[in-house]
Amino acid sequence: MKIIKYQEIEHKKVWDQFVLSANNGTIFHLREFLSYHKKRKFDDASFIFYDKNNIKSVFTGAIINNTLYSHPGASFGGFVSNTMSFKSYSEMVALLINYAKTKNLEKIIIIPPPFIYYTYYNEAMEYALYNQNFEIVEYYISSFVPLDKDFKKHMHTRKKRYIKKMMPEVEIKISADIDSFYPILINNKAKHKVEPTHTLTELKVLMKKFPEKIKLLLSYKNNTVIGGALNFITNKNTSILFYNMIDYDYQDLQIGSLQIYQSLKWAKENKLNYLDIGVSQLYKKNIIVPHNSLIHFKEQFGAQAMIRKVMELKL
């Protein structure tokens, strides 16, 4: 096993081909996706792992403040591979740690994809990380809705009743009008004293790069945009509802619920197995605690719980 640092000209095509065919590859691991943030300042530190000239894994990473992150430009990253032996996973972790030490880095931080992003789930890599002293430093509850059966049967009766009542009041349709959506996104994030993950320009770049993978559902009342849901098809199995935002002047119309419902229908129509509807956490004095009311809200759509982890190794 050997580790090779990613080079754009030489490796971009083979990298993306491997990610698309891998067991746990997602849109967030593609070089075509990661290139959207070129104006952000960090040093890319992504790697390809070879065994006898065959790609066994790729690792998305970048260095910020003497720490190797996987990857600051994506929701999650880290190792992408097909199923292999535990020995191979362990060798890759050791090679990554050795590289970080030769660069005198202080930490490695990895955010692996949750289990719904795997075709065949295998926790061998996580144990290989743990076995080489990585620790779970952040632990989030997240929610997903299985789509293999009729998801409506698992929705709460009251939620279905509200949605049926409000649907005639709101028109929801696929749109490319990100300019109308972005001010609502800004206002929603400002209520929580944070900024959106993406700038308006970045979202335009991503939607242009992935017109079939990133879809915006806009909600209208009397031809006025009153909310929107931005969905990413992440791989052949899963999509993620990345932003679900509403104009609070119209919150009595249950826009957020309608947008989740339409996102579920859209994901089902695209023959996906899961819709990831995100984490539900609050911060109290820098301690992560569950956002109980938000978790309950998602459960009314038949959502189940999964865990997102942040793993860290201090060098």
| Chain segment 92-131, per-residue pLDDT in tens | 999 999 999 999 999 999 999 999 999 999 999 999 999 9
> Given CA atoms 121, 110, 74, 277 in this order, what sign does their dihedral have?
positive
- The topology under which CATH files domain 143-308 is Aminopeptidase (3.40.630)
Q: Stretch 126-149: mean pLDDT, rounded?
A: 95
Q: Stretch 228-249: mean pLDDT, rounded?
A: 96
Per-residue pLDDT band for 234 (boundaries 50, 70, 90) equals very high
CATH 3.40.630.30 domain range(s) in the chain: 2-133, 143-308
Q: What is the dotted CATH code of the domain comprising 2-133?
A: 3.40.630.30
The reply to whether the predicted model has a pTM over 0.85 is: yes
Q: Are 205 and 256 in contact (CB under 8 A)?
A: no
Q: Quick one: DSSP state of residue 113?
A: P
Pseudo-torsion of CA 36, 37, 43, 47, nearest 10°? -30
Per-residue pLDDT band for 284 (boundaries 50, 70, 90) equals confident
The mean of the pLDDT values for the chain is: 94
Render pLDDT for 197-228 as a digit per residue (tens, 0 to 9). 899 999 999 999 999 999 999 999 999 999 99
DSSP 3-state assignment of 42? coil
Is pLDDT larger for residue 192 or for residue 68?
A: 68
pLDDT higher than threshold 70 for residue 56? yes
CA 49 from chain centre, in angstroms, equals: 23
- Report the share of the chain in percent with pLDDT over 70: 98
How many angstroms separate the Cα of 298 from the Cα of each of 1, 6, 82, 290? 43, 39, 32, 13
pLDDT of 74: 85
pLDDT higher than threshold 80 for residue 37? no
